[in-house]
Amino acid sequence: MSDAPSPSNRQRRTTASLTALRHLAREAAEAGEPMREIARRLDLPWSTLTKWAREDGFRHKDIAARQAEAAKAQDEADHIRQQAELAARRTLLRDEEDEEESDEPFTPRSQTDEEITLARARVGALLEAGYIPEAEQDMRAARRLTSLQSFAAPVRAATEAATQQMRQAEMNAALYRAALQVCACWEAGDTPPDHLPWIVSATFQKRLAIAREVVRGFDPDDKGSDQELTEHMILLAAQGWFCNFHPLLREAITTLTLQGKHALAEKVGGFLKAEQAALPTLIQWCHANGFGYHGEV
């Protein structure tokens, strides 16, 4: 006995009503509702529903075949996406390696920039393979990312500028502190100035230069670079080593003379005389700017 309502209980329906019911029946079948339930719920004759299903392709086997085909197409599209991403990532990696090896400043790519590049690569690969709907879907995602990036660009630029200024200020403060330590004009609790006058900058550079020469004079086989020696001296400066700089240089002159290195000993002596002459200007700047001179006067 059929589960569908008997023909005697049904009223004659209009063409528009039947068209709407046919559409609803297809939607229900594609959503997984059993055909018998559709016939009962929509009050349709079984023969009419099965005829529609056959003609419109929403029989169970038709739907299963389409789903299998769609799943296969999705798998193929996903494979194309993966291959496109892999190729794009390789290109990005090569570009980064080239930038790191070049003399130009290296700016790492943001995560958003990378995602946009990968999305564009996926779209191009899908279009080339003929997957138009999938390409359109990925293109919409790429456009959303691009729109978000454009929207956030002013804020990001301001944030990056502020961050860069903060980093530069920190670097300047560290440099100025190191310079004052080398000049023996620093003690715990001091605050670095916002700039270095010529007397501090010149004393800083000249002290480091003569110290490097003395070290190399004592040990000509030392393979350390100027940069390495400078970094080591700045560490010593933080420990107060340059507060005793003049006595150390006088000891170096004696040792160099005994070793027969008269030219270097004479150069160190000339440095001491020149610095003694410039010392009053350095001390005057220290006192005028809230610093003390902690070296030998």
- 22-58 pLDDT tens trace: 888 888 888 888 888 888 888 888 988 888 888 888 8
Quick one: pLDDT at residue 286?
92
Domain ranges of the chain: 12-58, 63-100+109-161, 183-288
CA separation, residue 185 to residues 60, 98, 176, 201, 281 (Å):
89, 44, 11, 12, 13
Q: What band does 238 get if pLDDT is binned at 50, 70 and 90?
A: confident
**Which 3 state secondary structure label does DSSP give 25?**
helix
Residue 250 reports pLDDT greater than 90: yes
Question: Which among 124, 119, 161 has a CA at the least distance from the CA of 143?
Answer: 119
DSSP string, 141-179: HHHHHHHHHHHHHHHHHHHHHHHHHHHHHHHHHHHHHHH
Among 149, 91, 153, which residue's Cα sits nearest to residue 121? 91
% of the chain residues with pLDDT over 70 = 87
pLDDT in tens, 138-159: 888 878 777 766 666 665 566 6
DSSP classification of residue 103: S
Spatial separation of the C-alpha atoms in residues 228 and 44, rounded to whole Å: 90
- Judged against a pLDDT cut of 90, whether residue 94 lies above it is answered with no
* b (16+ CB within 10 A) / e for 18-35: eeebbeebbebbeeeeeb
Confidence of residue 109 (pLDDT cuts 50, 70, 90): low
Contact 159, 266 (CB under 8 A): no
Residues 6+ apart with CB under 8 A from 222: 215, 216
Q: Report the percent of the chain where pLDDT is more than 90.
A: 21
98-102, 121-125, 206-210, 246-250: least confident range = 98-102
Per-residue model confidence (pLDDT) at position 1: 41
| pLDDT 10s digits, 164-212 | 777 777 787 888 888 999 999 988 888 888 888 899 999 999 999 999 8
Residue 8 predicted with pLDDT over 50 = no
Give the C-alpha separation, 47 to 129, whole Å.
Answer: 42
Instruction: List CB contacts of 272: < 8 A, sequence separation 6 or more.
Output: 246, 249, 250
Distance CA 285, CA 158 (A): 37
- Name the phi and psi angles at 6, rounded to 5: -75, 150
pLDDT at 265 over 90: yes
**DSSP state for residue 104 in the 8-state scheme:** S
Token pair, residue 233, equals 């001296």
Q: Which amino acid is at 53?
A: A
Mean pLDDT of the chain: 83
